[in-house]
Structure 1
Amino acid sequence: MSLAFDNSYARLPQRFYARLPPTPVSAPRLIRVNAPLARQLGIDPDWLASEEGVAVIAGNRVPDGADPIAQAYAGHQFGGFTPQLGDGRAILLGEVVDRDGVRRDIQLKGSGPTPFSRRGDGRAALGPVLREFIVSEAMAALGIPTTRALAAVTTGDWVFREVALPGAVLARVASSHIRVGTFQFFAARGDADGVKALADHAIARHYPDAAAAAAPYREFLARVVAAQADLIARWMLVGFIHGVMNTDNTAISGETIDYGPCAFMDAFHPMQVYSSIDHGGRYAFGNQPRIALWNLTRLAECLLPLLADDQDAAVAIAQEILAGFAPRFDAAWRAGLGRKIGLQEVRDGDEALIEDLLQRMADNQADFTLTFRGLADAVAGDVAVRDRFADPAAFDAWAPRWRERLAAEPMAPSARRDAMCAENPAFIPRNHQVERVIAAAVEREDYAPFEALMAVLARPFDDQPGAADYAKPPQAEEVVAQTFCGT
């Protein structure tokens, strides 16, 4: 089996990456192949699951046509700038063009040390690999732009964090791995030619029509700003918290990337934090739009020399483009929330109605996912959603105004429910379920819970009566208060 690699990033100047192969592992064993994604990439999933394919995923064999590299990048991490980060535990095998003509990276995550490892072992533990597999594929099923999980293997080796843990490698697919931090790497070195070469590459790869614009780099920045505004709104509409929105985890493509201590909210709170390393709540649920704009501002700083020859004029251009983030995000967020409560139009008074609901949810520890899904049933008269509130009277006081607003847009209850169910998932990768899956795999080498959860999450908007337990919020003893980074 040969993969049709066409490695455009590896044709950029040598300073953009380090060229090296993955480090072999002792005894790779397959966990899972994402067969539909493999076929989309033109890869035979049966071959990928074979001994030869597993060797490729593990990094023990470099396939013909691959040009393995570790990409260089920098980044602001929790607000502090590190001038060199880079792929410390990942190798980009190469790029393929999928069946739709879309160029995709195939990267091995946990594939051994690189020049960017900063004394790390370059490996990944099984738990974080499973978490990324589960959550990234759940996001894809929810229709949210994301990197994808192509396959995963165990390595037969131990990795050492607080304790010894079984090692694993994830084969990850992305539109690219170009980050805000990639631009920062060159800008911090005063490498204007590097910034320009990277911008030209990113435009050609992600926003090719921008190349024909009167001011291509302005259009490029505007397109990235718009993509991020839309992405963050879509995260928040399903209660997703990234957890580490560093600039090196902000993809130029507008895809969700790097699932570390990420989580989906159970009980709604606008400032919910799960990440064990986010001590100050910098990346809390409600802070995500502000942080996205902060990260985009860092990108704009890198691009200033390309926006105009005069510094003041370049700053003015950047500020004008960045000012478009808030209205773009707000429009996507408000329209999405409207659809979640059954509205097809945006009218005066909707914002106050929705904000009142969110406040009542926060005050009453209402489950984010099940409250909105329950509203879909409530349009047909089922008011079980009120029981999601610690004080059901809080919902009862809000519901008449909601029903009055729905009446202004006549629609058959069944049609409205269908429309709402298409916006409001019944199933998300709940933290306690993900932890249960990881524990079964790590402690007992039992992957049946992983496969069962993946099957449910592949159809998040469908009523699945036999999977009712997967929709339930955690019991008090099951609540996961903190999620952890895999490094």
Structure 2
Amino acid sequence: MDVNTPTAGAPSSAPVSNSPIALQHRFATDVPELAVPWRAAEVEHPRLLAFSDTLADELGVDAEALSSEEGLAFLTGNRLPEGVTPVAQGYSGHQWGMYTPRLGDGRALLLGEVTDRAGRLRDIHLKGSGATPFSRGADGLAAVGPMLREFIMGEAFHALGIPGTRALAVIGTGRLVRREGLEPGALLVRVASSHLRVGTFQYASASGNLEVLRRLADHAIERHAPEAAEAEHPYLAFYEHVVTAQAELVAAWMHVGFVHGVMSTDNTTVSGETIDFGPCAFLDAFDPGLWFSSIDQNGRYAYRQQPSIVQWNLARFAEALLPILPLTRDEAIAAAADADARADARERGDEAADDEGAESERRADAEARQIRAVELATAALERFGPQYAETYERGMRAKLGLAHVALDDARPVITGVLDLMTAARADYTQFFRGLGAHAASGRGTPARSLFPEPEAFERWAERWRALGPDREAMDAVNPAYIPRNHLVEEALAAASDEADLGPLERLLAAVRQPFDVRPGLARYAEPAPADFGPYTTFCGT
């Protein structure tokens, strides 16, 4: 392998006459101001490390063709059809609570969009494809380990029914990348409903160009909330849609003990999909205060903090939308045109053409709109808490087999079991999966064995069993297999250090069917061994 500096520059590739994926370019066409045409770094020796046949089938593309030499050249962005121009997307972001006005795709490119078999528009996106104008001095590359982590987590989330980006492929580049040492390089081919983030709207809003913000919002509505287009105030309806989607997403994370690790506004999607699995982890021993990311010094993104962080990010989203939030679409178009006309007048030096009275009236109208926008956004955001609580409690009732039980009766049982698990540091996944057996047979079950002093558990279980838990329903929502941290690290180390994909393939076989207990997979349901030690994740950039 060679340590290479990726080629950068204007878009260019060796064009081909046909394409294994019929790409569209809706984002780049609708908001070109947020799309920088660019080309991927050359990958001279691509090697397919992981591929999702099921995702290829969903997309309606030929898996065999994509796995060929020509297909890999397409997926790396090196040989694209005429008219296909990858773009780096611009966005801002609050990271660790601090605003960075210019982030963007520093090591990623949007190849384009494809309409899948279900008629949904999906992004085809590269990660680790080389430096872009947003790289801020970094090499824009990626290593095998972090890209395979994305693949594992995407497959697991899909199987668990949690919205998230998925990886179509991970491709080894034959290039060594410099991190703490030299690591084998890889490129991720990521698929998502879109890569529109809260940070995308922050970037557009900060530009001061109302027309760009409006077009971005219209693009997002068409893709993710078409019903909002029919509302009198479509941008408010869109915001409400995103609030609901994010409340449901973070509740789903909490149900499975998932800790994202880097919940910045540029990692908060308007589609309600999980994005960026870099420093993520799953809880083993239940401790709501846990976090794992090496760069999270104060636990800002700890497990129990995740709902409040999502709400905070949604407040930043509202701020970005304020200029158009209370407007109809026609009003937004007119407001953008008026803003452009006044900007042109200022450039010509005749901004004084309006009399003082007209300017005063305009300012009063703008102030009134701003006040109204804040009121509407505040009311919408205040619904996040109840929406999250309802979704979370509904999911916890399902995990306990109590979907048929009224919330007032189930709530003390939910609170009680979480308190017990915290005190005992019981394994989160193992407990809920084993609890189904306790519903059927009572004492001497796997769930009971997780408590050093089981008397308190038995008192709780007596109250729970009196509510008539449904074991079959529990086993349908409580996974036996998740991407346990020690198994993920084992698979990534084997792939990176020894080019051995066996542990990866065996782990994928388990997590792709998380609810079906199968012989020979007992170690994939077990917590980490004692010598695994405290777990720390790294983003891999």
**TM-score, normalising length from structure 1?**
0.96
> 1:454 — aligned with what?
508
| 2:37 is the counterpart of 1:19 | yes
> 1:170 — aligned with what?
188
SS at match of 1:405: coil
| 2:235 is the counterpart of 1:217 | yes
Deviations 1:384-431 (A, max 9, x none): 21111233233123111111122xx7xxxxxx2221011100000000
- Cα distance between partner residues in 1 of 2:407 and 2:55: 40
- Cα distance between partner residues in 2 of 1:480 and 1:37: 34
> 2:422 — aligned with what?
362
Structure 1 residue 365, shift from structure 2 partner: 1.0
Residue identity matched to 1:340: K
CA contact (8 A) 2:402 2:410 kept: no
- Cα distance between partner residues in 2 of 1:13 and 1:329: 32
Residue identity matched to 1:434: V
Question: Any runs of at least 4 consecutive aligned residues in structure 1 with deviations exceeding 3 A, and if so which?
Answer: none
Match of 1:350 among 410, 416, 419: 410
Residue identity matched to 2:371: D
SS at match of 1:154: strand
Match of 1:469 among 523, 526, 540: 523
- Cα distance between partner residues in 2 of 1:36 and 1:251: 24
Structure 1 residue 272, shift from structure 2 partner: 1.1
CA contact (8 A) 2:126 2:189 kept: yes
SS at match of 2:408: coil
CA contact (8 A) 1:4 1:65 kept: no
CA contact (8 A) 1:432 1:479 kept: no
> 2:321 — aligned with what?
303
Structure 1 residue 192, shift from structure 2 partner: 1.9
SS at match of 1:356: helix
Structure 1 residue 281, shift from structure 2 partner: 0.6
Q: 1:64 to 1:96 in 2, by over 3 A?
A: farther
> 1:278 — aligned with what?
296
Residue identity matched to 1:262: C
Residue identity matched to 2:72: V
Structure 1 residue 480, shift from structure 2 partner: 4.8
| 2:384 is the counterpart of 1:325 | yes
| 2:417 is the counterpart of 1:399 | no
> 1:94 — aligned with what?
112
Residue identity matched to 2:415: E
Greater CA drift, 386-395 or 132-141: 386-395
Greater CA drift, 378-387 or 162-171: 378-387
Greater CA drift, 468-477 or 61-70: 61-70
| 2:88 is the counterpart of 1:34 | no
CA contact (8 A) 1:431 1:480 kept: no
SS at match of 1:113: coil
Which protein has the larger Cα radius of gyration, Structure 1 or Structure 2? 2
SS at match of 1:76: strand
> 1:339 — aligned with what?
398
- Cα distance between partner residues in 1 of 2:440 and 2:51: 41
Residue identity matched to 1:338: R
Gaps of 5+ in 2: 1-17, 327-365
Q: 1:198 to 1:378 in 2, by over 3 A?
A: same
SS at match of 1:371: helix
- Cα distance between partner residues in 1 of 2:82 and 2:426: 53
- Cα distance between partner residues in 2 of 1:449 and 1:66: 37
Gaps of 5+ in 1: 410-415
CA contact (8 A) 2:77 2:111 kept: no
| 2:432 is the counterpart of 1:378 | no
Matched-pair identity in %: 52
SS at match of 2:132: coil
CA contact (8 A) 1:240 1:264 kept: yes
Aligned length in residues: 479
Structure 1 residue 482, shift from structure 2 partner: 0.5
| 2:141 is the counterpart of 1:123 | yes
CA contact (8 A) 1:260 1:486 kept: yes
- Cα distance between partner residues in 1 of 2:240 and 2:64: 42
After TM superposition, the structure 1 = structure 2 runs for residues 60-75 of structure 1, keeping only pairs within 5 Å, are: 60-75=78-93
| 2:369 is the counterpart of 1:315 | no
Greater CA drift, 373-382 or 170-179: 373-382
| 2:490 is the counterpart of 1:436 | yes
Match of 1:229 among 226, 229, 247: 247
**TM-score, normalising length from structure 2?**
0.87
| 2:538 is the counterpart of 1:484 | yes
CA contact (8 A) 1:33 1:48 kept: no
| 2:290 is the counterpart of 1:264 | no
Q: Aligned-pair RMSD on alpha carbons?
A: 1.2
SS at match of 2:516: coil
Residue identity matched to 2:465: R
> 2:451 — aligned with what?
389
> 1:412 — aligned with what?
none
CA contact (8 A) 1:338 1:346 kept: no
Residue identity matched to 2:258: F
- Cα distance between partner residues in 2 of 1:278 and 1:388: 30
Deviations 1:168-195 (A, max 9, x none): 0010000000000000012223222221
> 1:427 — aligned with what?
481
- Cα distance between partner residues in 2 of 1:282 and 1:171: 30
> 2:333 — aligned with what?
none
Greater CA drift, 207-216 or 309-318: 309-318
Match of 1:79 among 87, 94, 97: 97
